[in-house]
Amino acid sequence: MEKHIGSCRCGDIEFCFDNDPINSTFCYCKDCQALTGSDKWFGLWVPRENFSFTKGIPSSYTRSGDSGKEVHYHFCSICSTALCAEITAGNFYSVSATSLKNNNFTPKMSIYASSAPSWATFPNNVPKFDILPPGMAG
């Protein structure tokens, strides 16, 4: 079983997850733009039971997702790195690929492309969805 580890940039918070993510996405929604200060968030979708914080206690911020269910954002209160978003509607964490010690993952799809700014960049040869793939809960 493979273990993936990551941390915020000051090192106060560390996390890990087991096994490979069930999905890896570039998300261009307005919320991810605000969160990252860029056109997208590179999220690795990790089932809740596979993810844990191993050092420090992150701060959090909660909003209602498109489904009406809560999304909890976890970040470091010292260096402000955004570490992950807990998507309660889907029972998974969207973990920041950028925060991994070794990120060898690549995006499998682009989502919320209809919210992207005009200057956004999209990866080549990856399916692009206006919102989510049909049948996927947000």
Which lies closer to Zn ion via its Cβ, residue 32 or residue 84? Answer: 32
> Nearest to residue 65, comparing CAs of 86, 41, 43, 34?
86
Q: Look at the chain and count its residues.
A: 138
Q: Is residue 26 within 8 Å of 40, Cβ to Cβ? A: yes
Binding mask 61-90 for Zn ion (x = CB under 5 A): ---------------x-xx-----------
Binding flag, residue 14, Zn ion (CB under 5 A): no
Distance CA 51, CA 55 (A): 13
Q: Is 136 in the site for Zn ion (CB under 5 A)?
A: no
Q: Which two tokens stand for residue 117?
A: 């700014």
The nearest distance, CB 1 to Zn ion, in angstroms, is 27
If binding is defined by CB under 5 A, does position 32 make contact with Zn ion? yes
Give the number of other CB atoms < 10 A from CB of residue 135.
5
Of 17, 25, 27, 90, the residue at the interface with Zn ion (CB under 5 A) is 27
The residues of the shown chain that bind Zn ion, judged by CB under 5 A, are 8, 10, 12, 27, 29, 32, 76, 78-79
